[in-house]
A and B are shown apart, each in its own frame.
Chain A
Amino acid sequence: MALTRALSRTLHITALGIATLVIATVSAVPAYSDTSDKRIALSNNYAGNAWRQEMLSAWRTQTSRAVKIGTVAAADAFTIGENRPTDQAAQIQNLILQGYDAIVIDAASTTALNGAVQEACDAGVVVVSFDGIVTAPCAWKVVNDFRQWGREEVEYMAKRFPEGANLLEVRGLPGTFVDDDLHQGIVDELKKHPQLHLVSSVEGDWAQDVTQQAVAGVLPSLPKIDGVLNQGGEAYGAAQAFRASDRKMPVIILSNAQDELAWWAQQDRDNGYQSISISNAPGIATVAFWVAQQILDGKEVPKRLTVPLLHIRQQDLDSVLAKTPKGSVADQIFSQADVEKLIAAARDKAVQRSQEASQ
């Protein structure tokens, strides 16, 4: 009797030991966790223009596939009624309460959501901001390089006008970091090309009508204009203003809006008009989605990730235009593989930078 008890006890202890061993090995396996039970939410502050509509539709197409094949359990999009940071902060707090594992944010304010974002991070929720980013240090930031955009515009002008040219700059919504960065890129690059002269700068608010009015207002006082630099969404308005005057149509840098691309194609057919199109693809939302998924999967992702700008070349114009619905914007959707590549590249760059710093 005593023997059996002792035996059973030993067995018990052994079993326990094995169990501990098994647990130990399991937890020693490198961080690979399945995200099929994870839920991701999109908190969006505004849906009132073509870019945002395309962004939401890009999110829907990419995430519905991911949900269907079981990569994630849910990827719901929520847009607040009015573009107010107070409303979005309340929305984010509600999303935390609803138990989402990650919240992807296009923010109404870079700073005013930091309180709510901090609450999310404290509750163990992964926060990824894109386009309109938040400054809270615990959040990941998926951004376009707007300075690069400004530099590329000037580079193109330098190539088109090696003998020198007069340029007009149309700026975006004042006070936004996008406007500041793009303008800074232009200013930086112009220093390298003294033959280019920035003769005037107007405020277009990223809107066709505002731009048309602003450019038409300033044109009579200006010398001959060879090129127009802008921030996307203003090119068509600027072109209208030039057409209304009897000036020669300058080289206007275009963006991805369908009406601009259609105008460009028409000009090309009529008189061989040459330009380039640079823009930030609304598909950046899909990058943010996959970044959130990768973080939930236990992957190491740099806190700041730069997404390449969308370029449309003259030769691709017709094919892009055919794919872009009227009133919408041309887009580039990012798949999981694309984003993994982006992350790997950013990680390598970070490692390189830290090595350089240590040397």
Chain B
Amino acid sequence: MNKQLAINKRLAMKKRWVSPRILLPLVSFSVLLIATFALQERAMSYLGLNLLFNLTVPIALATIGQLLVIMVNDIDLSVGAFVSLVACIAATVLVQHPWLGCLILAALVLAYAVIGALIHKLRLPAIVVTLGMSFIWDGLALLILPAPGGTAPTWLRALMTVKPPLVPMAVAAAVLIGLASHLLIIRSGIGTVLRGLGGNVRSVTRAGWNDTLLFALAYGLAGLFGVLAGLTLVGLYTSAGANVASSYTLLTIAGVILGGGEFVGGKVSPIGAVLGALTLSLAGSLLAFMHLSPDWQIGAQGAVLIAVLAARLLFNRHGASSNAIAQEATA
């Protein structure tokens, strides 16, 4: 009896303490950060942290967008093209005709919601639909900006180069994105229902929710984060091009998985995803500081991903066995 109490207590403590889903991204991020600081102490300053992470802000936002789609058991292969399109609009139309620009961006968010509803209503595979959409976004981006160029709206440029006291912009933004998406997806009522879609659609509909509207909402939110990613991107790079964010599709999927998300079951972690995005770009910087040839960097980033996933598998096995112990004890 005493033994069982002790086990229960331990398990309860474990639950209250950080879950492994967030623990692992936190550990891998910290390890890389410490290694980076050890190699390059200049990074350990206000300016250094900003240089290290400011280009990750749009990737982190796009990763949350991807997470929202993965959360409902789909995958979005059009993120890169979509963010590029938003960037092209932000660098051209939004500068010349701000209202028209805002209207187009709102329409894009709506388009994302409609796509989500259609995918669900017509039982289409999201992987095919979003792949197809990526060509449409790409084509639209080329129509708007045939050759790379454009200029960032001054307010966006000011926003992305702001120098807040104490904490650099990049860190403040990462914390803000992590907390806001955590509140939206994990803590809020609607976020919980949306995660339920990934778990079991039928039970959500039986509880009286309109599933098509919920899918539209999840995709619409993903579109909103995609728009935010494109805007911040232009603020950072000061111009845009039709394939400026082409690498984002794979980076965001890797970020979500690295951050403790899973492809099925609505099991995701927004804070983990932000950490995952930061970890991926940190891995790039770390390899550069190690004077590793860029030819190896993409492979090395993949190796980091595999290492973290392997570690997660070990964690999960361990978790499963400790659950088994608990069950045995109750029996």
Report if A and B associate in a common complex.
Answer: yes
- A-side residues, CB < 8 A to B, are 78-82, 84-87, 89-91, 93-94, 96-99, 109-116, 118-119, 123, 174-175
Other CB < 8 Å A-B pairs besides A93-B54, A111-B239, 10 of them? A79-B294, A85-B244, A93-B52, A94-B285, A97-B52, A111-B150, A115-B161, A118-B161, A119-B51, A123-B47
Binds A, one of B127-135, B141-149, B213-221: B141-149
Given known contacts A86-B245, A90-B284, A111-B149, A98 and B237 CB-to-CB distance under 8 angstroms:
no
A93 contacts B51, C-beta separation under 8 Å: yes
CB within 8 Å for A81 and B297 given contacts A91-B288, A111-B149: yes
The reply to whether B42 and A97 contact each other, CB–CB distance below 8 Å, is yes
**With A84-B247, A90-B281, A94-B288 in contact, is A99–B42 under 8 Å at CB?**
yes
The answer, among A79, A82, A90, for a CB contact under 8 Å with B55, is A90
Per-residue contact bits, chain B 51-63, to A (CB 8 Å; 1 contact, 0 not): 1101100000000
Considering the complex, give the chain A residue whose CB is closest to the CB of B47. A123
Give complex CA distance A98, B295 in Å.
19
Instruction: Collect the chain B residues with CB atoms within 8 Å of residue A114's CB.
Output: 237-239
The 7 closest A-B pairs by CB, nearest first: A175-B147, A111-B239, A81-B294, A114-B238, A94-B288, A93-B51, A112-B237
B187 to A: closest C-beta gap in Å:
33
Chain B residues near A80 (CB-CB < 8 A): 294
- Chain A residues, CB < 8 A from B294: 78-81, 87, 91
Query: Which chain B positions have C-beta within 8 A of A93?
Result: 51-52, 54-55
Check A109/B239 contact, CB under 8 A, given A81-B297, A84-B246, A97-B52: yes
> Is there contact, CB below 8 Å, between A96 and B51?
yes
How many of chain B's residues touch chain A, expressed as a range?
Answer: 35 or more
Closest residue to B287 on the A side, CB-wise?
A: A94
B240 at the interface (CB under 8 A from A): yes
CB contacts (< 8 Å) of B43 on chain A: these are 97
A-B contact pairs, 19 of them (CB 8 A): A78-B294, A84-B243, A85-B237, A85-B241, A86-B237, A86-B247, A91-B288, A93-B52, A93-B54, A94-B285, A97-B51, A98-B42, A98-B289, A99-B42, A111-B238, A112-B241, A119-B51, A174-B147, A175-B147
Q: Tell me the chain B residues, 112-130 only, with Cβ under 8 Å from chain A.
A: none
Chain B nearest Cβ from A346, distance in angstroms? 27
Chain B, Cβ-Cβ closest to A81: B294
Spell out B's residues near A (CB within 8 Å).
Answer: 40, 42-43, 47-48, 51-52, 54-55, 146-151, 160-161, 236-241, 243-247, 281, 284-285, 288-289, 294-295, 297-298
Do B236 and A98 have beta carbons less than 8 Å apart?
Answer: no
Q: Closest chain A residue to B243 by CB distance?
A: A84
- Shortest distance between the CB of B284 and any CB in chain A (Å): 6
- Would A109 and B241 be within 8 Å (CB), given that A81-B294, A84-B246, A175-B146 are in contact? yes
Q: Known contacts A84-B247, A111-B148, A111-B149: does B297 contact A94 (CB below 8 Å)?
A: no
Contact B237 A115 (CB under 8 A): yes
> What A residues does B151 contact at CB under 8 A?
111
CA distance A78 to B294 in the complex (A): 8
**Alpha-carbon distance A300/B161, docked complex (angstroms):** 29
Residues from chain B with a CB closer than 8 A to the CB of A119 are 51
B238 — nearest CB in chain A belongs to which residue? Answer: A114
Task: Tell me whether A81 and B55 are in contact (CB under 8 A).
Answer: no
Q: Which residue of B lies closest to A99 (CB)?
A: B42
Contact (Cβ within 8 A) B148 A112: yes
Min CB gap A47→B, angstroms: 10
Given known A-B contacts A97-B42, A97-B48, A98-B40, A112 and B245 have beta carbons under 8 A apart: no
User: Closest Cβ of chain A: how far from B37's Cβ, in Å?
Assistant: 11
The residues of A that contact B285 with a CB separation of less than 8 Å are 90, 94, 97
Listed residue (B43, B241, B295, B298) with the most chain A CB atoms within 10 angstroms of its CB:
B241
* CB closest chain-B residue, reference A123: B47
Chain A positions within 8 Å of B161 at CB level: 115, 118
Q: Which residues of B contact A109 (CB under 8 A)?
A: 148, 239, 241
A90, A113, A118 pick with most chain B CB within 10 angstroms: A90
Residues of B within 8 A of A175 (CB): 146-148
Q: Which residues does chain A contribute within 8 Å of B298, judged by CB atoms?
A: 81
**Chain B residues with CB under 8 A of A118:** 161, 238
B244 neighbours in A (Cβ, 8 Å): 85-86, 112
A355 to chain B, nearest CB (A): 34
Roughly how many angstroms separate A119 CA and B47 CA in the complex, as a whole number? Answer: 9
- Complex contacts, A90 vs chain B, CB 8 Å: 55, 281, 284-285
With contacts A97-B40, A97-B48 known, is A81 near B295, CB below 8 A?
A: yes
The reply to whether B236 and A115 contact each other, CB–CB distance below 8 Å, is yes
Nearest A residue to B251 via CB reads A86
Interface core residue of A97, A99, A175 (most chain B CB under 10 Å): A97
A94 CB, min distance to chain B CBs, angstroms? 4
CA distance A174 to B142 in the complex (A): 14
CA distance A79 to B294 in the complex (A): 7
- List, in ascending order, chain A residues with CB within 8 A of B297's CB: 81
By beta carbon, the residue of chain A nearest B149 is A111
Taking CB atoms, residues of chain B closer than 8 Å to A79 are 294
A196, B279: Cα distance in complex, Å: 61
CA distance A97 to B37 in the complex (A): 11
B55 x A89 contact (CB < 8 A): yes
Most buried by B among A89, A96, A111: A111
> Is the CB–CB distance between B55 and A94 below 8 Å?
no
Residues of B within 8 A of A98 (CB): 40, 42, 288-289
